[in-house]
Every structure is written in C-alpha cells, then in structure tokens.
Amino acid sequence: MEIQQLTFEKYKEIFNNPYHAFNSANFAKHNEGKCEQLLFLGFFKDQKPRLGLVAGIRNGRLISPFSAPFGGFTFLKEEVKIGYLDESIAALEVLAKEQGIQHINLVLPPDCYHGSFVAKQINSLNRANYRINFIDLNYQFYTKDFTDNYLNEIWYNAKKNFNRSIKNELFFQKQDSLEGKKLVYDVVAQNRASRGFPLRMTWDQVWSTTEIIPADFFLVTNANQLAIASAVIFHVAINVVQVIYWGDLPEFAEFKTMNFLSYSVFNYYKAQKIEIVDIGPSTENGIPNFGLCEFKESIGCKISPKLSFDKSI
C-alpha cells in the first residue's frame, strides 16, 4: 500500500463523498487552525485510491479527528477489503515515524454511521496493537421507532414528563432567520453556563460551520412566547442528523421542556424521512454521566460504543 500526502484540492476531488461530514476535506480545512499541521492522506493500491484519512498533528501526535466528535479512515468504495485497512495502518505508522510523530490517536464513529466499515476499522486497529483508550456510550434514536405507540414504549417517567409538558402549552418551531438561530444558540449557552460547562464552540464558529454542514435550529417557547429550550442539529451523514447542542433554561425545568423538545425533534425528523437522530455520547473519556444516560434511554434511544484508539510509535 502506497501512502501519499495529498493537497486539499486533490483529496477533495478523490474523496468527495465521505460517509460522514467530519471526514470531509472542507470541514478539516475549516478547522485547520486547531492543529499544527493538517494532513490529507491517500492510500493507493495498484495505483488506485482505496482509503483516505484526514488528520492533524498536535504536540507530537497524529490525531483523527483533531476537531470533531470522531474521524477515522474514509473509504472510496463501501466494499473495501479488510486487508487494505491493515496495509493502510502499517503505511500510516511508517509515515509517522518518518515525520517524528510519537503517537497516533484515532476516534471512530459509533456503528450507527456505517456498522460494517467501523467494525473493520476496530478489527484492524486491534490486531495492529492499538490500545483502546476509552469506550464511550453513544446514544441514537431510530425514527422508525417513532410510531403511534411511541409514548407507551418509552419509560413510564418519560411518558409522564412529556404529558406534563403538554399541559404547559409549549411550542416547537424551526428557526429560519439569523436572529432566530442566534437565539437558539443563546438559550443553549445559558443552559451550559448555569451548569458550569461553557460551550466549546462560539456562535461565530457554529455559524461558519453551517456553511459546510447543513444545520437546523429549533426553539421551544412557552405560552408567554419566552424562549425556554432549543437545539442545534447538524446533517452529518446520509439520513443521519446529530444533536450538536440542546438544552433548556433551568428556571423552566419544571415544564419538562427536554421531554417535549426530544419528542418534537423525533417527530420532525420522522416526517423528514431522516432515519437516525444521533444525540451523542453521555460519557466523558468513558466515564458515564448517569443522569444523561438514563434520560436518553428513557426517551427511547439505543446505545452503541464509540471507541478511541491510541498507539505509541
């Protein structure tokens, strides 16, 4: 397997349809300032491109992703052979040694994005003696489960909370104006600030990212038209959206706004024929936030592992 360092333009030309948006050339280029060096790598067999990898170098580490929830290899054709992955990983290590890189860190997507390819990567990395740093728990909702019987199938407490939210006359609306979208972000920012967890992305960073990854902005208001909860959701793969941020204002928690918001989001994407709403992990470096885990399970989410691999070179 031959490894080539490609230009941004060449990588974008070859791998023009990655299976998730965080592996796109445009997304990597947009976040280039978050690493010391940006690498666009192509892996060629018989002079044909087989796999790609976007990575950043930071503090002597080759990292994929360097600014995203997950990264890993990108296939050109879905039926890529496991042997090609094995050879690509070996070639990557040779390149790393040549450039004085001391560690390789890869965070793979949860298997809801492409179970077969993720499984192949896990197998190849494990056999190449990569260490599993963390096993995070990722939560996703399959909209096929949003049926007329949905409320009877979720946890009793979640159903009770949703019914309580309905009595509070809450309203859910997609925001299309710049002012409305900024308000969505501000509500989430207030939620995080109240819990001592500042947002990792500023409004300007969120807004500029929407030029690369399509996004939806949703707002929940009460009967007095006060904004009390919101969600920022990116379209990150075919038939998959990802909740980037969502939250409610703590002073309105008694309205059970998050149960109303999650129900409304599922209902919206079911109507849009989106198959998966990825709500993301409820773990930090593999350590569960038990409250978040229980909430996401209570509203009908399924769980899949998200693995982080590391190897010293």
Q: How many residues does the chain have?
A: 313
198, pLDDT greater than 90: no
Can you tell me the distance from the alpha carbon of 192 to that of 261, in angstroms, rounded to the nearest whole number?
17
Assess if CATH 3.40.630.30 describes domain 2-129.
yes
Can you tell me the distance from the alpha carbon of 210 to that of 33, in angstroms, rounded to the nearest whole number?
17
Average pLDDT over residues 247-266: 95
Can you tell me the distance from the alpha carbon of 153 to that of 179, in angstroms, rounded to the nearest whole number?
37
User: Which pTM value belongs to this model?
Assistant: 0.95
Can you tell me the distance from the alpha carbon of 198 to that of 102, in angstroms, rounded to the nearest whole number?
31
Q: β-strand 103-107 against 61-64: which pairing, if any?
A: parallel
Tell me, which fold does domain 140-305 have in CATH? Aminopeptidase (3.40.630)
61 membership: H or E segment, kind and range: strand 61-64
Q: At what angle do helices 82-98 and 115-127 cross, to 10 degrees?
A: 50
86-136 tens-digit pLDDT: 999 999 999 999 999 999 999 999 999 999 999 999 999 999 999 999 999
Torsion sign across C-alpha atoms 52, 53, 54, 57: negative
180, pLDDT greater than 90: yes
Which residues of 77-226 form beta strands (DSSP E)?
103-107, 131-142, 171-174, 215-221
Can you tell me the distance from the alpha carbon of 248 to that of 192, in angstroms, rounded to the nearest whole number?
9
> CB pairs under 8 A, 24+ apart, for 142-146?
142/275, 142/276, 142/302, 143/266, 143/269, 143/270, 143/274, 143/275, 143/276, 143/277, 144/275, 145/300, 146/266, 146/267, 146/270, 146/300
- Where in the chain are all domains bearing CATH 3.40.630.30? 2-129, 140-305
63 membership: H or E segment, kind and range: strand 61-64
195, pLDDT greater than 90: no
- 313: closest CA among 135, 129, 133, 132? 129
How many other C-beta atoms lie within 10 A of the C-beta of residue 252?
17
- 217: closest CA among 203, 238, 197? 203
- Helical segments of 23-137, H only: 25-30, 82-98, 115-127
In percent, the amount of the chain with pLDDT more than 90 equals: 96
258-305 tens-digit pLDDT: 999 999 999 999 999 999 999 999 999 999 999 999 999 999 999 999
128-175 tens-digit pLDDT: 999 999 999 999 999 999 999 999 999 999 999 999 999 999 999 999
How many other C-beta atoms lie within 10 A of the C-beta of residue 196?
6
